[in-house]
Amino acid sequence: MVIFIRPRALVSKAFVTSGVCAALVAGAAAGPAHAARNAAGPPAVPSLSALSWEVMDARTGTVLAARAPHRRLPPASTLKTLFAVTVLPHLRQDAVHRASWADLAEVAEGSSEVGVAEGHRYTVADLWRGVFLSSGNDAVHTLARLNGGLSRTLAQMQATARRIGARDTQVRSPDGFDTPGQYSSAHDLALIAREGFKNPDFRRYMGTKFARFPASGGPDAYEIQNTNRLLVGSHGVEPYPGLIGVKNGYTTQAGTTLVSAATHKGRTILVTVMNPQDGDFNEVYEESRTLLDWGFATPAPQPPKQQAGPLRAAAAPATAPTHQEEAAEAPGLTRHLGAAAALLVLTCVPLIVRRRLRARRIRS
């Protein structure tokens, strides 16, 4: 008995099935490649000379990238942010104080000063502008005495650091002047600044560029300018668009330090840079600029279930993936291709079997 078959149908079915198999293999190979392209994410993290730095999304507290973010280093005047976070809520901004010798007695020699003069009257707001704009240690010590004294203020600052999770910070002075046993970290300074953002007075002072000292005027009043060059644009540094603060610092031991924040299209990036090793005094501003640019170029993270705070935030790697990390992704690709190959066999084998059976029937 001769059984006739339709060659066209057989060829067509084989063609379709082969096409499906090829598509499966191609899809399996392309799937991981597509995922790898999506996983590439933000641009490469820049290479900088600072001993320590961190980039944080201010809204979520997510650390986007960092280098040695928990390395304990002298903070210089960036520690004044912790002083402000601690003391600002305790003093009325419109309160008036007549400066005395005792206010200035413990200001270290060589300190930066705004010019608080014994016997002159200042509002608390005047003194805060002296802290944020001129980095005045004389204003810091005057406010510390108004807060109940130096010892009380230092204890409160340490307690504030612990409360917000700044566990790399040890306070020995209210102004950040080089003092044995005093240190902080890039991550802690970012946490402190982010805590300060919650206070409208903190936000106002950190972004003030110019002011009269004292604001009431008079023959002895004069203009002061914020020493943050990235904010005002001075000494060869171009101002950064959208910069809102926060605080710069310098001492012999700390080198240059800077906590800066900028807002663009509703998103705020917070950057800390500690002690760049290259360039001149302006290097801290230019490295901060580079990190701000990089931060805004990255996708905005989703709010985490637990934001940066008492538990240390896990920093994104500041270097390219290692060969071991790339190899760790290979098994995923192998599994995809293995599954596709198995499916190819299961789909194509029945076709081959049917063709052989039909061929036998024709011969018979």
Catalytically active residues are: 77, 80, 135
Place of tokens 């052989």: 356
Q: Report whether the peptide linkage leading into residue 214 is cis, meaning its omega lies within 30 degrees of zero.
A: yes
Q: How do strand 255-264 and strand 243-251 relate by DSSP bridges?
A: antiparallel
Q: Mapping DSSP to helix (H, G, I), strand (E, B) and coil, where does residue 223 land?
A: strand
How long a stretch of residues is the chain? Answer: 364
Q: Sign of the C-alpha dihedral, residues 79, 263, 300, 273?
A: negative
Instruction: Give every CB contact of residue 328 below 8 A, 6+ residues apart in sequence.
Output: none
Closest to 133 measured CA to CA, from 234, 50, 266: 234
The first and second tokens of residue 307, run together, are 């934001």
Radius of gyration of the chain (CA): 32
* Dihedral angle over CA of 155, 161, 164, 165, nearest 10: -130
For residue 167, the 8-state DSSP code is T
Q: 98-105 contacts: CB < 8 A, separation 24 or more?
A: 99/142, 102/145, 103/138, 103/141, 103/142, 103/145, 104/138, 104/141, 104/142
The first and second tokens of residue 189, run together, are 């300074």
How many beta carbons lie within 10 A of that of residue 12, not counting itself?
Answer: 11
